[in-house]
Amino acid sequence: MTAQMIDGVKISTGLLGDIARDVDAFIALFGRPPGLAVVLVGDDPASSVYVRSKAQKTLDVGMRSFEHRLPATTSESALLSLISELNRMEEVDGILVQLPLPAQIDERRVLMAIDPEKDVDGFHPMNAGLLATGGEALMPCTPLGCMILARSVLGDLTGLEAVVVGRSNIVGKPMAQLLSMANATVTIAHSGTQNIAGTCRRADLLIVAVGHPEMVRGNWIKPGAVVIDVGINRLAAPELGPGKTRLVGDVTFQEAIKVVRAITPVPGGVGPMTITCLLQNTMLAAHRRSASGKQP
């Protein structure tokens, strides 16, 4: 059996086209584009690349981008006052604060300060609670992207055995909730799970978000399973030249490809979907705000 590569770049390109059309329709109706504000504190190189890429894609679909780059020494109160200003700005529909934040800033307090209706990352406890209770939440972007990728191969997920490895607030937990809402039978594995290989081998759909390079081996995977690899790990790659690096996922791709029905590559799988779902959420937030009269 030849394994299918789940092409996140191709799927997200199609969705970005849909979003751009939606933006045009929104402008025609309301006379302004949806707006996304991205806030970066400090100069972490990986975060800086993500922020640049988010801002560029925001502009590409015709939305307005508000980029705020603050020094690493920024105080919590300065960041909180920027957030309350963005909360008040009518032309801003979505606010994203790039994580991680420097040690002097309490991440939880910052996430709580974002207006839940503009919380396009879906990290505010109000949105996490709405997701858990079946309400109209803004949902975290990476799990939303994983759902689109999984459905692109499997269609309806009803009755499937799904295993999510990792239980973080931003990926694993909401992932498990979305799968359960889609009627999959869901197991969450984590660092306390015994026989993690055997647990993974039960999965028709295996979603891995642990942050350990190539942890999941080929013999952990049920033959014919669909695997979504969320992990992004940068490893030294001296074979490519001095100082070179390469990206790998949380799954040993070369082993998995021999066993699976379909798998996401790293890079080019989940990563592009995360930004696309962020723009989808911004569109959704803009529509909800306009429907509730909270925009010009």
Residues near ligand NDP, by CB under 6 A: 142, 165-168, 170-172, 189-193, 196, 209-212, 230-233, 270-271, 274
Nearest to 63 by CA among 291, 268, 278, 294: 278
Token pair, residue 10, equals 């191709």
Q: Which of 22, 115, 119, 121 is catalytic?
A: 121
In degrees and rounded to multiples of 5, residue 245 shows phi and psi of -130, 165
**Residue 121 catalytic?**
yes
**Residue 194 catalytic?**
no
Q: Is 36 left (phi over 0), alpha (psi -120 to 50) or beta?
A: beta
State the minimum distance, in angstroms, from the CB of residue 209 to ligand NDP: 4
Q: Is 243 annotated as a binding residue?
A: no
Report the C-alpha gap between 277 and 279 in whole angstroms: 5
State the minimum distance, in angstroms, from the CB of residue 179 to ligand NDP: 15
State the minimum distance, in angstroms, from the CB of residue 88 to ligand NDP: 29
Q: Is 166 annotated as a binding residue?
A: yes
Nearer of residues 25 and 197 to ligand NDP, judged by Cβ: 197
Nearer of residues 35 and 231 to ligand NDP, judged by Cβ: 231
Q: Is 48 annotated as a binding residue?
A: no
In degrees and rounded to multiples of 5, residue 64 shows phi and psi of -95, 135
DSSP labels, 51-102: HHHHHHHHHHTT-EEEEEEE-TT--HHHHHHHHHHHHH-TT--EEEEPSSPP
Of the chain, the end-to-end C-alpha distance in Å amounts to 55
Q: Is 12 annotated as a binding residue?
A: no
Q: Which of 54, 57, 173, 222 is catalytic?
A: 54
**Residue 54 catalytic?**
yes
State the minimum distance, in angstroms, from the CB of residue 105 to ligand NDP: 18
Catalytic residue positions? 54, 98, 121
Residues contributing to the annotated binding site: 166-168, 232
